[in-house]
Amino acid sequence: MNVQARDEEGVREVERAYDRAWAAADVDGLVGFFTQDAVVVNPRGEVARGVAQIRDALAGFLGGPARGSLHVGRILRIEFVTEDIAVVDGEATIHVPGSPSETSITHLFTDVLARSRGAWRIAHVRAYAVYAP
């Protein structure tokens, strides 16, 4: 496996592991995917800066309207800006089983991942307004 293929697989694994942690409602696990100074902009334009705010936002969402939900990310494109910075464009669907209408919402996203000490971490998330697929 060449270096770029290995790096791409590492980035893809972060996204897959994020989905698994979401399904387990593992807020600490989710926060572990972020850099300490990460920024998350959700589809409503709300901003969380740093892991404490990200933890609070995720705990509130997974403990409230998204309780019991599944997050399914689909990577559409990965670009390496440098060997340690990757930009990921994708689509995420949040499905809430058992909700009155089996609610699913889908949004596009861009993640910026940074590699530090051999591990990929999410430094920035920009989740765009929700759309109906």
CA distance 106 to 11: 21
As to burial, measured by CB atoms within 10 angstroms (0-12 exposed, 13-18 middle, 19+ buried), residue 82 is exposed
* d(C-alpha 68, C-alpha 98), whole Å: 9
pLDDT at 100: 61
- What would the pLDDT profile of 70-109 be if each residue is shown by its tens digit? 999 999 999 999 999 999 999 999 998 776 666 788 899 9
Pairwise CA distance, residues 5 & 10, whole Å: 9
